[in-house]
Amino acid sequence: MSLTTDDVRHVARLARLALTDGEVEELRGELSAILAHVEQVREVATPDVPPTSHPYPLVNVLRADEPRPSLPPDEAVSTAPEAEDGRFRVPRMSHSEG
Amino acid sequence: MSTTTSVEQATRYEAVIGLEVHVELATRTKMFCGCAIGFGGEPNSRTCPVCLGMPGSLPVVNGAAVESAIRLGLALGCEIAPTSQFHRKNYFYPDMPKDYQISQYDVPICLRGELRITVDGRERTIGITRVHMEEDTGKSLHVGGSGRIAGSDHSLVDYNRAGIPLLEVVSEPDLRSAEEARAYLAELRAVVLALGISDAKLEEGSMRCDANVSLRPVGHTVFGTRVEVKNMNSLRSLGRAIDHEIERQTRVLTAGDPVVQETRHWDEDAGVTSPLRSKESVDDYRYFPDPDLLPVEPDADWIDRLRAELPELPAVTRARLAGLGLPAPQVAVLVDTGLVRVLDAALAAGAAPALAANLLTNDLVGWAAANGTDPADAPLTGAALAELVGLVADGTLSTKLARQVLEAVLGGEPGGPRAIAEARGLVQISDTAELEAVVARVVAADPAAAQRVRDGNAKAIGALVGAVMRETRGRANPRLVNELLERHLHP
């Protein structure tokens, strides 16, 4: 499968990456190669091969509803690039990007 | 009689409405970590590496939240999926620190249920598409501008709410009017309250509702373009928003324009909806299975146990309360407020239904409204209510005095109804000798009124009864006062 430059720009926008035209072209080739590889895997993955999103034979790994200590608030924001009044300070949110 | 007018020739539209309801679960801890759930407190004081999305942290599913999901599914007659899993819904928005929200996608835990509603005496069955589990987002404070996102300078985020378990209940597009949508939301809320899985407060956001609204010409089966309306935080607000949206879309279509598929924000004060953002197509969220979270596969034993433990559901409760002789509007208040729990506890302790129900739906609900609190949060146990009702039943208190005692109990006075009544000297005077003396004094003090009664004016006795009540500061047993006055004036 071969991607178009528009496909690459769309994915880049979703990932909030600013790409130059050269990078778009470079990634178009690389991403297309990855997709071709996935196509190959898909041919082998017949219906009797279960999906392996969870390769462990484990289900229902559940936690008891018992509170555990949280981080001290100042520690919670200590690694934030910016904090204000105990809150994470983030740049202006633009709704069109929601 | 003329039958054809231009109005009848114009296309008439039918509304098609589906609701997406988020229910914040009342578990003790968050969906995927042990952070406590609570109100208030410092920002980011209930966060940890898991709900802050720190690299290397590992989420683990809260078993109690899964049980809540299965219980709601069973109450709505859903199939419980033999296997379901969690997906990551990817998006860039700082209300989630991970840049994705953990949700369920193509394999939700509950599928295909139904909810019966009654509007104008007509019962309808509304399909439930699915119920799935997900996590709540953080709260943002927008700084600068008018405090809304548009025009703000930057935002401050508190992740105390991020990770709180949510159930999303998606209805089929089976609703046809604002009234039906309100009835559906009210009934769903009553079911959630009966299950005790959430406090389900619309005004406070522990139950939230989005509406998908579209129009189509009457008789058509194909759906029109739908608009998602958000930000309704009461039943009233939901009804107004839908009515407004139906009107707006009718105007657009009547003018020959297409309805734009979009998300619109309901402005409660202005009473209008306005576009929020163009809807992202579903693929843009790039859902994929969360590799950190293993599938949930409830076995038959687990489901059967939860089914056996289901409480009485609202429809059954209403029928049972009606069977006790309580009028339908009162039954509705008891069920919708959740006060039916207090009533049932009082009934179990031997209280008479009518008086217990009256004290709850008139006095307690009134008290809660005056104090701006939720009736369900009022500090009255079923045992205390039963004790109070008992004091009226045995003649110790009049209904009026019982109300005063109830108010004292609600105001936090300790000791219980009997102790409060005694401490305040509110106990009704049922002592004949003591009251006879008062009656004699009152009759002597108002010979004119007494004479009117003797002359056969039955209404005139009211003034004398009132005088006795004043003298006894409302504590006289009214039935006994009437009896004594009658005997005194008509020997």
Q: Do B34 and A66 touch (CB under 8 A)?
A: yes
Element (H, E) at B322: helix B314-323
Both structure tokens of B138: 């953080």
B335 and B454 share one domain: no
Give the span between the Cα atoms of A4 and B419, in whole angstroms.
Answer: 82
Question: With contact defined as beta carbons under 8 Å apart, do B211 and B241 qualify?
Answer: yes
Give the span between the Cα atoms of B166 and B103, in whole angstroms.
Answer: 9
B194 and B68 share one domain: yes
Torsion angle defined by CA atoms of residues B105, B226, B151 and B231, in that order, rounded to the nearest 10 degrees: -70
Task: Return the number of other C-beta atoms located less than 10 Å from residue B24's C-beta.
Answer: 22
Kindly state whether residue B3 falls inside one of the protein's structural domains. no
Q: How far is CA B18 from CA B88, B127, B167, B215, B398, in A?
A: 24, 10, 16, 12, 50
Question: With contact defined as beta carbons under 8 Å apart, do B209 and B185 qualify?
Answer: yes
B146 and B195 share one domain: yes
Question: With contact defined as beta carbons under 8 Å apart, do B287 and B69 qualify?
Answer: no
B190 and B288 share one domain: yes
Both structure tokens of B227: 């608009």
Element (H, E) at B339: none
Mutate to test the interface with B, among A66, A90, A97 (most CBs of B within 10 A): A90
Q: Which residues of B397-412 are buried (b: 16+ CB within 10 A; e: fewer)?
A: bbeebbbbbbbbbbee
Q: To which residue do tokens 């059967």 refer?
A: B304
- Is B485 strand, coil or helix? helix
Residue where a domain terminates, one of B392, B423, B454 = B423
Give the span between the Cα atoms of B408 and B40, in whole angstroms.
Answer: 28
Number of structural domains, chain B? 3
Bigger pLDDT: A85 or A95? A85
- Output the pLDDT for position B9: 55
What residues have CB less than 8 Å from B123, skipping those under 6 apart? B116, B117
Sign of the four-CA dihedral B129, B222, B264, B187: negative
Rounded to the nearest 5°, which phi and psi values hold at B155? Answer: -130, 155
SS3 content of chain A, % helix, strand, coil (to 5): 40, 10, 50
Question: With contact defined as beta carbons under 8 Å apart, do B135 and B101 qualify?
Answer: yes
What residues have CB less than 8 Å from A1, skipping those under 6 apart? A32, A35, A36, A39
Question: How many helices (H) and strands (E) in chain B?
Answer: 17, 15
Fold topology of A1-49: Histone, subunit A (1.10.20)
Q: To which residue do tokens 């924000």 refer?
A: B265
B258 and B363 share one domain: no
Sign of the four-CA dihedral B45, B48, B54, B59: negative
Residue B229 is classified by DSSP as E
Rounded to the nearest 5°, which phi and psi values hold at B391? Answer: -65, -30
Q: Do A93 and B140 touch (CB under 8 A)?
A: yes
Kindly state whether residue B68 falls inside one of the protein's structural domains. yes
B143 and B239 share one domain: yes
Instruction: Mark out the alpha helices in B76-206 (DSSP H runs).
Output: 178-195
Calculate how close chain B gets to A26, using CA atoms only, in Å.
Answer: 23
Mutate to test the interface with A, among B62, B85, B157 (most CBs of A within 10 A): B157
Domain ranges of chain A: 1-49
Give the span between the Cα atoms of B430 and B455, in whole angstroms.
Answer: 28
Query: A52 CB near a chain B CB, below 8 Å?
Result: no
The boundaries of the domain holding residue B450 are 432-489
Residue where a domain terminates, one of B374, B398, B423 = B423
Both structure tokens of B17: 């409405």
Helix axes B447-454 and B432-445, enclosed angle (nearest 10)? 100
B114 and B80 share one domain: yes
B337 and B264 share one domain: no
B483: CATH:
1.10.10.410
- Output the pLDDT for position B1: 44
> For each successive 10 residues of chain B (491 residues), what is the average pLDDT?
49 94 97 93 95 94 98 98 94 89 95 95 95 96 78 90 97 97 96 94 93 94 93 94 96 92 91 74 78 94 97 94 93 92 93 92 91 88 90 84 88 87 76 82 87 85 87 80 85 70
Both structure tokens of B441: 């004094």
In this prediction, residue A54 has a pLDDT band, given cuts at 50, 70 and 90, of: confident
The amino acid at residue B227 is V
Q: To which residue do tokens 């309805």 refer?
A: B259
Kindly state whether residue B191 falls inside one of the protein's structural domains. yes
Q: Do A67 and B29 touch (CB under 8 A)?
A: yes
Give the span between the Cα atoms of B311 and B390, in whole angstroms.
Answer: 27
Tens-place pLDDT, residues A59-76: 999 999 999 999 999 999
Q: What is the separation of C-alpha B96 from the centre of its chain, rounded to a whole number of angstroms? A: 28
Q: Do A88 and B154 touch (CB under 8 A)?
A: no
> Nearest chain A Cα to B165, which residue?
A65
The amino acid at residue B9 is Q
Kindly state whether residue B306 falls inside one of the protein's structural domains. no
Residue where a domain terminates, one of B423, B448, B467 = B423
Q: Do B43 and A73 touch (CB under 8 A)?
A: yes
Chain A, chain B: beta-carbon pairs less than 8 Å apart:
143
Task: Render B437-456 in DSSP notation, one character per residue.
Answer: HHHHHHHHH-HHHHHHHHTT
B188 and B266 share one domain: yes
Helix axes B382-393 and B399-410, enclosed angle (nearest 10)? 160
Q: Do B44 and A90 touch (CB under 8 A)?
A: no
Task: Return the number of other C-beta atoms located less than 10 Å from residue B460's C-beta.
Answer: 18
Kindly state whether residue B238 falls inside one of the protein's structural domains. yes
Among B32, B377, B410, which Cα is nearest to B204's? B377
Give the span between the Cα atoms of B36 and A68, in whole angstroms.
Answer: 7
Give the span between the Cα atoms of B390 and A35, in whole angstroms.
Answer: 77
Among B294, B260, B295, which Cα is nearest to B278's? B260
Sign of the four-CA dihedral B350, B352, B355, B356: positive
